[in-house]
């Protein structure tokens, strides 16, 4: 990977005055994203033959991100995931949120982090380039208590590692669960669906969902089910499975996996044999939602093709809002003055 030569960060104005940033390293890896929603629009990495191709879903036209109902590439918060009945309790007080999916609250609602313009500050170090994004979510907006100051940093290094660092602090007790909602497809330029992506997850348990995709309260063992990725298997196995939980979410996965050990380490490995690409995910988050795009809106014009089910897979590393009902899993509650500090690293390589 050698000596630093041309690590660069550039920016340009695009639709509606949004700024698009481009990070590039010596290996030719390129990450592009917007200050609007912190949306990652493209990640170009080499295949086994050195060919650079995009490995995330992104719209063909930047303007389409203004109606990003599938959260392509977006930062999600203040709480990623579904909050049952759009309400939660802290210190004996109930806070009611916007009901934006049936009777529930999903991904921060209409004022969620995926559609605000973040303040952006580019930076360079000896071996990295990146951008620090900051935003204040004011107290009471959509019912959330506390002024929440958030910083999310995107960093690219010389080893084809793309790091997302999340920081937050509130002046009142509140709830926080931040993640990124990129849809990955390692085949490159949408040449195939994710059926033949082989995934390994350091997880022994997952959370059962009901018909509304709300946790039932049951934390189930993965052993003996299509949810056992401990030794790795193809996503196609679960997409085609008759297991009740795969069928419930529309034939595939949209489930929260609890990591065996929440310490910062490699928790997920993804490989795509045709291109030879690999992606390792390291994080100190307690788990992640894996979503195989079972209900991706079809027919959207994307860079490289048209959207359809199973065209990408999300690895949403985060704590789960199910913890508002379950005291057996890591909590999304954040005490006043407490610092929320999480990190996820996506490192790309080849077989």
DSSP result, 21-81: EEEE-TT--EEEEESBTT-EEEEEEE-TTS-EEE-B--BSSGGGGGG-TT-TT-EE-SB-S
Domain extent at residue 305? 8-350
Question: Which CATH number covers residue 73?
Answer: 2.70.98.10
Question: Does residue 12 form part of some domain?
Answer: yes
In a domain, 65, yes or no: yes
Compute the distance between CA of residue 345 and CA of residue 13 in angstroms, rounded to an integer.
27
More confident residue, 143 or 4: 143
Question: Has residue 2 been placed in a domain?
Answer: no
Q: Could you tell me if residue 230 is inside a domain?
A: yes
Q: pLDDT at position 5, please?
A: 56
- Residue 348 near residue 278, CB atoms below 8 Å: yes
pLDDT at position 263, please?
87
Instruction: Let me know if residue 3 belongs to a domain.
Output: no
For residue 308, give every residue at least 6 positions away whose Cβ sits within 8 Å of its Cβ, in sequence order, or none: 193, 296, 298, 299
Residue 237, pLDDT score: 96
What is the SS3 assignment for 285? coil
Tell me the C-alpha distance between 45 and 293, whole Å: 22
Rounded Cα–Cα distance for residues 184 and 281 (Å): 12
> 272-294, pLDDT tens digit by residue?
999 999 999 999 999 999 999 99
Mean pLDDT of 189-212: 97
The count of structural domains within the chain is 1
On whether residue 1 sits in a domain, the answer given is: no
Count CB neighbours of 207 within 10 A.
Answer: 22
For the annotated catalytic residues, the residue numbers are 181, 316
Q: Does residue 214 belong to any structural domain of this protein?
A: yes
The answer to whether position 48 is within a domain reads yes
């Amino acid at each position: 990977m050698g000596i630093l030569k041309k690590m660069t960060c550039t920016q340009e104005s695009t639709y509606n005055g949004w700024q698009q940033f481009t990070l590039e390293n010596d290996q030719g890896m390129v990450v592009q994203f917007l200050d609007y929603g912190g949306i990652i629009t493209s990640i170009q990495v080499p295949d086994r033959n050195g060919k650079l191709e995009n490995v995330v879903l992104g719209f063909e036209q930047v303007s389409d991100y203004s109606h990003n109902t599938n959260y392509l590439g977006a930062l999600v918060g203040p709480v990623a995931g579904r909050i049952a009945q759009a309400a939660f309790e802290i210190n004996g007080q109930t806070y009611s949120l916007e009901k934006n999916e049936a009777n529930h609250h999903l991904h921060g609602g209409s004022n969620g982090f995926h559609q605000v313009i973040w303040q952006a500050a580019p930076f360079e170090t000896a071996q990295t380039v990146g951008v620090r994004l900051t935003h204040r979510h004011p107290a009471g907006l959509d019912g959330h208590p506390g002024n929440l100051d958030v910083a999310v940093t995107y960093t690219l290094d010389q080893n084809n590692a793309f790091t997302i660092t999340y920081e937050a602090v509130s002046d009142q007790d509140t709830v926080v669960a931040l993640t990124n909602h990129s849809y990955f497809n390692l085949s490159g330029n949408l040449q195939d669906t994710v059926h033949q992506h082989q995934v390994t997850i350091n997880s022994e348990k997952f959370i059962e969902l009901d018909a509304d995709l709300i946790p039932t309260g049951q934390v189930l063992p993965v052993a003996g089910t299509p949810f056992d990725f401990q030794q790795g298997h193809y996503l196609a196995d679960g997409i085609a499975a008759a297991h009740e939980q795969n069928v419930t979410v529309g034939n595939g996965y949209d489930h929260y996996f609890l990591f065996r050990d929440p310490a910062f380490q490699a928790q997920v490995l993804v490989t795509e044999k045709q291109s030879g690409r690999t992606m390792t995910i390291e994080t100190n988050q307690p788990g992640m939602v894996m979503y195989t795009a079972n209900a991706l809106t079809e027919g959207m014009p994307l860079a490289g093709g048209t959207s359809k089910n199973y065209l990408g897979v999300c690895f949403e590393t985060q704590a789960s809002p199910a913890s508002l009902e379950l005291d057996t899993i890591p909590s999304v509650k954040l005490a006043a003055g407490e610092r929320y500090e999480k990190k996820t690293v996506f490192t790309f390589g080849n077989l």
